[in-house]
Amino acid sequence: MSRTIYGANPFPESVRIAEYLRDHTEADDTIAVLGSEPQIYFYSKRHSATGYIYTYELMEPQSYARQMQEEMIQQIESARPKYLIWIGVPASWLQQATSEDLILAWANDYVGKFYDVVGLVNLLSRDQTDYYFDQLPESKPQLDNYILICRRKS
């Protein structure tokens, strides 16, 4: 039902991602979701490493966008969440041509330095989603709408 109403937004996938997180974290571990998918926190029963549980406002052409991105970055860096979930679904960000992109550039660098990608959720169509947990595909699939599950390096 949610796929019919909300298209590529990863509501159905959030439940499986949350189950994975619940199974691979302790109750007091924090996670960070880079995107507007707060249901992952709810379903996983894990606290957010940042007060920004939606990223829409960070992409709006408004005077506080950069400051908000800087705050989110600082909060995540300080909290050092065990898992970082990167939502590569345009509808989760609503980025515009005039959007500040500081957080996206930061995330590309930060994730590479401090996290290992341990999961991939590839939303191929309304009816097909491929899940790869703890074993990524050998060949790189086409990624238009995807979610990366990243675990902090030891």
Locate the domains of the chain by residue range: 2-152
Helices (H), the chain: 2-6, 11-24, 39-44, 56-59, 65-79, 102-114
Q: Identify the pLDDT of residue 137.
A: 82
Q: Alpha-carbon distance 48 to 33, whole Å?
A: 8
Angle of CA points 87, 93, 98, to nearest 5°: 140
DSSP code of 91?
A: G
For 9-21, the pLDDT digits (tens) are 888 999 999 999 9
Instruction: Specify the residue for token string 């590569």.
Output: 88
Contact 58, 104 (CB under 8 A): no
Retrieve residue 118's tokens.
């341990």
> Across the strands, what pairs with 31?
48, 83
Q: Identify the pLDDT of residue 82.
A: 99
Tell me the average pLDDT of the chain.
Answer: 93
Angle of CA points 122, 104, 30, to nearest 5°: 75
Q: Alpha-carbon distance 44 to 41, whole Å?
A: 5
For 102-119, the pLDDT digits (tens) are 999 999 999 999 999 999
Contact 55, 91 (CB under 8 A): no
User: Whose CA is closest to 148, among 115, 125, 124?
Assistant: 115
The answer to whether residue 1 scores a pLDDT higher than 60 is: no
Q: Identify the pLDDT of residue 139.
A: 74
Q: What is the percent of the chain with per-residue pLDDT over 90, rounded to a whole number?
A: 81
Retrieve residue 146's tokens.
């995807």
For 58-113, the pLDDT digits (tens) are 999 999 999 999 999 999 999 999 999 999 999 999 999 999 999 999 999 999 99
